[in-house]
Structure 1
Amino acid sequence: MNDYDIVILGGGPGGYVAAIRAAQLGKRIALVEKEKLGGTCLHKGCIPSKTLLRSAELYETMKRSSSFGIRVHGIELDYSNVLARKDAIVERLESGVRFLMKKNKIDVYEGMGMIANTAITSDRNGVIEVKSSGIAEGEPPISIGYRDLIVATGSRPRRIPGLPVNERIMSSDEALAMESVPASVVIVGGGVIGVEWASMLNDFGAQVTIVEAADRIVPTEDEDLSRELARLFTKRRIKTLTGAMLLPGSVLADDGGVVLQVSRGSKIETLMADRMLVSVGRAANIEGFGLERTAARIEQGVIAVDRSMRTNDPHVYAIGDVVGGLQLAHVASHEGVVAAESICGLDAHSPEAVSVPKCIYSRPELASVGLSEQAAVESGHSVKIGKFSFKAIGKALVLGDSDGFVKVVADEKTGDVLGVHMIGPHVTDFIGEASLAQLVKATSMHIGRMIHPHPTLSEIIGEAMLEADNLALGM
């Protein structure tokens, strides 16, 4: 049996980053992955979906190229090549992760890892049994010992009870495998994944309807962002039904498409489409690998951890989607570093949710960090608001994309930046400035007085900060 200082279950952005950081700190590491290195983010989430979104954005831009003084004839979508580009990017990034494992001398075990019910010895606190496809039937699994274990098993699309998954009724996993763009689609769930797919499929030419149970789409964002996205989606003829509940027993799917019913108050509406995409959140992968053989505790469907990512079992840590909270790749990576450093005796803690930047890659993009206006008021702050439109930003006009705004929420007494909320072109690329402002506890005046290069989109942050103090220059 090979014994390791740390064994990590799961090779996604949480697991492989934890492995690298622990290796940097001198630990002997094993990483166990049952599918492919990179996890959901690389193979079924962030990277493939954003690659498709970029193709959709470019396709839409080319269709309006005449507004840039360029006449193009015969624009045609070649979806098979769109998918080929996606696969090539994923493959390239996966090879990069493999290189990092080799560079950092991390042993990778390909197969399903199970926590074994094995006696503790002086050299180890537990054992993982790895059953890989390369092991012949009847042969015992490979056993590896650990002093500490990091569980990074991720999540999967949440299913609606009683609703099948097939060619017509999909989660985001199956949607990525579509060989063509459907003529029409109903998306159940208007959160992050739902609005990204709605934007993408609309740009590819599909008729899209969103069904959202809350009273607004992207309900976890600031209300002003939700309203603006809904307005712009309506402008693009994306139909949005809010306060609407799917009636699961009403769903019928056959070769002709999908028919379903939704209730809105006392009214029931029938919808028809080629396909239905279910996007109602993600469930933590806590089953099937022997977690019950440890002292780790499950609370509300996720693994309970402290701020060092330690479970109730002193030698078992958990990170990423499997611990709930903000199920984001960059959060998982940060938690992976925290877990590795905590095991190595360093003082490391998981981030407060309020300090984590959130990004939505629809068209337009959304990005935010900190408290919404409503949350700030409910927390007892007296707030001042700075809001500035992209229509007054020269670079946005140059790009031909000037919808949206940046909204700053600051404390009226201290000027401290409490939250920044953006909707517009490329806002995911400069939300980092707002995150830094929160980290260093900057005031709106600090950021407003910064010199922002001209012409850039980032100028809007400075203007919105100045606007909070009624000092915007209107550049």
Structure 2
Amino acid sequence: GGICLNWGCIPTKALLRSSEIFHLMHRAKEFGLKAENVGYDIDAVVKRSRGVAKQLSGGVGFLMKKNKITVVMGEAKLAGKGKISVRTDKGSEEIEAKAIIIATGARARDLPGLEADGKRVWSYKHALMPPHMPKKLLVIGSGAIGIEFASFYNTLGAETTVVEVLPRILPVEDEEISAFAKKQFQKQKMTILEGATVKKLDRGADKVTATIEQGGKTTTADFDTVISAVGIVGNVENLGLEEAGVKVDRTHVVVDEYCRTGVDGLYAIGDIAGPPWLAHKAMHEGVMVAELIAGQHPHPTPGTSIAGCTYCQPQVASVGLTEAKAKEQGYAVKVGHFPFIGNGKAIALGEPEGMIKTVFDAKTGELLGAHMVGAEVTELIQGYVVGRTLETTEVELMNTVFPHPTLSEMMHEAVLDAYGRMLHM
């Protein structure tokens, strides 16, 4: 099932669900409820997370058997045209095929001096099965992985600091969304250091001293735990790629829009094939390549029509171009906003903090991008993804009836606002 199922999306969502419920239990009084002496058992939280991953991994195994797929467990490498050699616990064997798909994924990037050791300095894998509960946590990197773990441990009570080398956290998101999320994290007592670099980590038995540079000033601070989330590198080693003539660029296999490597019969999908590094993108590529091999004529999906979701608190989701990117590409834009505070369902849920933003081409009405921060936006974003796939304009979205009371009504309002027709603010 790959990283997503075993060590990524699924187990982290299970952890984050536990922290979300823990957070809500502390708010019980707001909802007329009583929850006293609220606590947690970190080992039980992790056990549930691993159980969820195991259940789904077993499901994939069942699907393999159901569809009569032969599974060979071992280490494989390319061994000439249409051939791979596999080293198993019984020895080695050679397999021939008309088509070969490379889907070896990626792993956490280690920067010199910031390498994970599993004790006081963790990668995402260590953070999923923590040897201890952090009291004072440093997270290096504020992409989806870093922010999700920061959100999880901060909610459970760790004093959390996030360091981002770029000028703002969640740097791939729209600037307004990043700024809104930052304010919410700070309300939760996270320390956010932007435009900052961790220069070195001095490791002790029970603490790590981090040297942090920001704005030309260098400071040191002690933490009992550090999570390094500074990106990923592709698993391209020892696969025989160079010998096969496959082009590799910065640890990723170079492919065309159909995931073809340029070597006849050889494809690469998922994280190994470059950004966006998302499980749903990998899944779609797998289906597309299978259809291509079967002689069908699938359509490739551009990266700008693939949603990105971050399951922190508040959640963040987006698809398409940011406002800045759209302008950079020469578009004249119309931009709409709608705040959660103006939505009945958000208020009823007790989740009034959030925002939805839409970006349209002023000339054609094309939906260029949509950006969200707030409760359940990772579920809402698919509405705009479908819209982009159908090449919708503002007219269709304005004339769509959104059910009431739902959070999705804000999606309608954000479209209306882009054209000066907002109703409920």
TM-score tier by shorter-chain length is over 0.9
* Partner Cα separation in structure 2 for residue 219 and residue 188 of structure 1: 14
1:232-311 mapped onto 2 (5 Å cutoff): 232-248=184-200, 251-311=201-261
How far has the Cα of 1:231 moved from its partner?
A: 0.6
* Partner Cα separation in structure 2 for residue 301 and residue 346 of structure 1: 30
Identical counterparts, % of pairs = 39
Q: Letter of the aligned partner of 1:430 in structure 2?
A: L
How far has the Cα of 1:349 moved from its partner?
A: 4.3
- From 75, 83, 86, the counterpart of 2:49: 86
Q: Letter of the aligned partner of 2:85 in structure 1?
A: E
* Partner Cα separation in structure 1 for residue 18 and residue 357 of structure 2: 29
1:108 aligns to what SS in structure 2? Answer: coil
* Partner Cα separation in structure 2 for residue 463 and residue 164 of structure 1: 46
Deviates more, 1:236-245 or 1:308-317: 308-317
1:193 aligns to what SS in structure 2? Answer: helix
How far has the Cα of 1:181 moved from its partner?
A: 1.9
1:268-417 mapped onto 2 (5 Å cutoff): 268-417=218-367
1:46 aligns with 2:9: yes
Q: Letter of the aligned partner of 1:453 in structure 2?
A: P
Deviates more, 1:286-295 or 1:423-432: 286-295
How far has the Cα of 1:95 moved from its partner?
A: 1.1
Q: Letter of the aligned partner of 1:181 in structure 2?
A: M
1:56-205 mapped onto 2 (5 Å cutoff): 56-117=19-80, 125-133=81-89, 135=90, 140-166=91-117, 167-205=119-157
1:358-412 deviation digits (Å, cap 9, x = unpaired): 1110000011111110111111111111100001111111111111110011122
* Partner Cα separation in structure 2 for residue 390 and residue 181 of structure 1: 33
* Partner Cα separation in structure 1 for residue 289 and residue 392 of structure 2: 29
1:197 aligns to what SS in structure 2? Answer: helix
How far has the Cα of 1:307 moved from its partner?
A: 1.2
2:71 aligns to what SS in structure 1? Answer: strand
* Partner Cα separation in structure 2 for residue 274 and residue 115 of structure 1: 44
Q: Letter of the aligned partner of 1:383 in structure 2?
A: V
1:109 aligns to what SS in structure 2? Answer: coil
2:341 aligns to what SS in structure 1? Answer: helix
* Partner Cα separation in structure 2 for residue 116 and residue 162 of structure 1: 36
* Partner Cα separation in structure 2 for residue 128 and residue 150 of structure 1: 11
* Partner Cα separation in structure 2 for residue 431 and residue 230 of structure 1: 20
Does structure 2 retain, via aligned residues, the 8 Å contact 1:445–1:466?
Answer: no
Counterpart of 1:229? Answer: 181
How far has the Cα of 1:347 moved from its partner?
A: 2.3
1:161 aligns to what SS in structure 2? Answer: coil
* Partner Cα separation in structure 1 for residue 115 and residue 380 of structure 2: 40
* Partner Cα separation in structure 2 for residue 255 and residue 357 of structure 1: 42
1:260-305 deviation digits (Å, cap 9, x = unpaired): 1111121002121111100011100000222223121112321111
Counterpart of 1:10? Answer: none
2:72 aligns to what SS in structure 1? Answer: strand
- Normalised by the length of structure 1, the TM-score is 0.87
User: Which of structure 1's runs of 4+ aligned residues deviate more than 3 A?
Assistant: none
* Partner Cα separation in structure 2 for residue 382 and residue 113 of structure 1: 50
* Partner Cα separation in structure 1 for residue 113 and residue 157 of structure 2: 31
* Partner Cα separation in structure 2 for residue 212 and residue 432 of structure 1: 28
Q: Letter of the aligned partner of 1:261 in structure 2?
A: T
Does structure 2 retain, via aligned residues, the 8 Å contact 1:448–1:464?
Answer: no
* Partner Cα separation in structure 1 for residue 394 and residue 362 of structure 2: 10
* Partner Cα separation in structure 2 for residue 326 and residue 186 of structure 1: 26
* Partner Cα separation in structure 1 for residue 270 and residue 2 of structure 2: 11
1:420 aligns with 2:370: yes
RMSD in angstroms over aligned alpha carbons? Answer: 1.3
Does structure 1 retain, via aligned residues, the 8 Å contact 2:235–2:251?
Answer: no
Q: Letter of the aligned partner of 2:327 in structure 1?
A: V
How far has the Cα of 1:430 moved from its partner?
A: 1.5
* Partner Cα separation in structure 1 for residue 169 and residue 115 of structure 2: 25
Q: Which runs of 5+ in 1 are unaligned?
A: 1-37, 118-124
Q: Letter of the aligned partner of 1:114 in structure 2?
A: K
Q: Letter of the aligned partner of 2:135 in structure 1?
A: A
For this pair of structures, how many residues does the alignment match? 424
1:210 aligns to what SS in structure 2? Answer: strand
Higher-RCO chain (CA-CA 8 Å, sequence separation at least 6) = 1
1:210 aligns with 2:162: yes
* Partner Cα separation in structure 1 for residue 159 and residue 94 of structure 2: 52
Does structure 2 retain, via aligned residues, the 8 Å contact 1:79–1:179?
Answer: no
Q: Letter of the aligned partner of 2:189 in structure 1?
A: R
Q: Letter of the aligned partner of 2:281 in structure 1?
A: V
How far has the Cα of 1:177 moved from its partner?
A: 1.5
Does structure 1 retain, via aligned residues, the 8 Å contact 2:367–2:388?
Answer: yes
* Partner Cα separation in structure 1 for residue 41 and residue 353 of structure 2: 28
Q: Letter of the aligned partner of 2:160 in structure 1?
A: V
Does structure 1 retain, via aligned residues, the 8 Å contact 2:340–2:374?
Answer: yes
* Partner Cα separation in structure 1 for residue 393 and residue 196 of structure 2: 40
How far has the Cα of 1:451 moved from its partner?
A: 0.8
* Partner Cα separation in structure 2 for residue 446 and residue 218 of structure 1: 31
- Normalised by the length of structure 2, the TM-score is 0.97
1:322-355 deviation digits (Å, cap 9, x = unpaired): 0111000000011111211222222234321111
